[in-house]
Amino acid sequence: MRYFAALMLFPMRLSFSCLLYLLLAWPALGAYGQAPPTGRFSRAVVEVGQPLDYELRYRHAPGEEVVFPDSLADFGTFEYAGRSWRPTRTRQGISLDVAVYHLRTFSLDSVQRLQLPVLVLRGPRDTLRVQPAPATVRLHRTAPVAAAGGGQLLALRSAYEVLPVAPAFNYPFWQAGLAAGLVLAGGVWAAAGRRWQQRYARYKRRKNHVYFLAQLTRYSERFALSRSAAVVERAVVLWKNYLSNLENSNLASLTTSELVAYFHNDDDVRRALRTTDRIVYGNLLTEDAQEVEVALQRLRSFAERQFELLGTT
């Protein structure tokens, strides 16, 4: 095969094609003593839409420049689906070019024909068009054909019973909605999540602070009625646990001197813990109830100052 070029062919009637074939092929035979190109289908019968090959062969002198049709050629009732070719082979002074066109047909004609020409380039302005004999293929119909002469037609049903169909769950729609919701929630959390966490933490601290004050007041009232050292000890434990939670540290295990040092020798802490230690560890129940009340009030005041300092940040 030497060249492939764009070639547009025009449909024509069978009689005119045969006449033109004789007119063009005869000078070629007389000039070169060669046969015209041959074209044939790969099968004799084809169905609608079934792949079909058309093989075009041409024997010519080795020095001739020939051009086979390409995808722009007129394939008549057939649709072009591709092509393949073989390299030019020369034996005993005769060159052979072969091209195979892959086609399909969707026409309902019983017999379909195809005739693709070959161009022989003989000079800058001299081109010889050589055509093969028409190749035919028969269409095999798979659907029944209505009888000629107005035979009885099939009876048509005028009404159908509509059956209920269960609604199907639209998984792609809900998956897309869920993905969009997650993206939106992630964006909102990235923009305002830290602020919400801080607000929630402040809310919990205020709630714990109110609970601490109420419990400390209850212990103060119980001591005034019972003069029990256990009540004072529970009040001090409550105060330590509250400050541990407020400052996120372990203050419950510290001694009185360690607590005073931890809070930078605060006067309220030092005086209040000394008073409670005398009652709890010294079993000095002779202490004036008013002095214990003052000690618990000092612990309360210090806790409120710490809450103002740390609880609202």
* C-alpha distances out from residue 142 to 47, 103, 176, 261, Å: 8, 19, 45, 103
CA distance 88 to 206: 95
Indicate whether 153 pLDDT > 70: no
Indicate whether 102 pLDDT > 80: yes
Q: How confident is the model at residue 18 (pLDDT cuts 50, 70, 90)?
A: very low
Residues 175-232 pLDDT 10s: 999 999 999 988 888 887 778 888 888 888 888 889 989 998 898 888 878 788 888 8
CA distance 58 to 69: 12
pLDDT (0 to 100) of residue 286: 52
Residues in the chain: 313
CA distance 52 to 137: 10
Residues 273-304 pLDDT 10s: 888 888 877 665 555 677 888 888 899 999 88
pLDDT (0 to 100) of residue 56: 95
Residues 229-235: contacts with CB under 8 Å, at least 24 apart = 229/279, 229/280, 229/283, 229/285, 232/276, 232/279, 232/280, 232/292, 232/296, 233/276, 233/280, 235/276, 235/296, 235/299
Q: What is the SS3 assignment for 25?
A: helix
Residue 115 corresponds to which amino acid?
Q
Please tell me whether the overall predicted TM-score, pTM, comes out greater than 0.85 for this model.
Answer: no
CA distance 195 to 262: 31
Range list of H helices, the chain = 14-32, 171-226, 229-247, 256-262, 267-280, 289-306
Q: How many CB atoms lie within 10 A of CB 8?
A: 8
Residues 160-177 pLDDT 10s: 788 888 888 888 989 999
Indicate whether 97 pLDDT > 70: yes
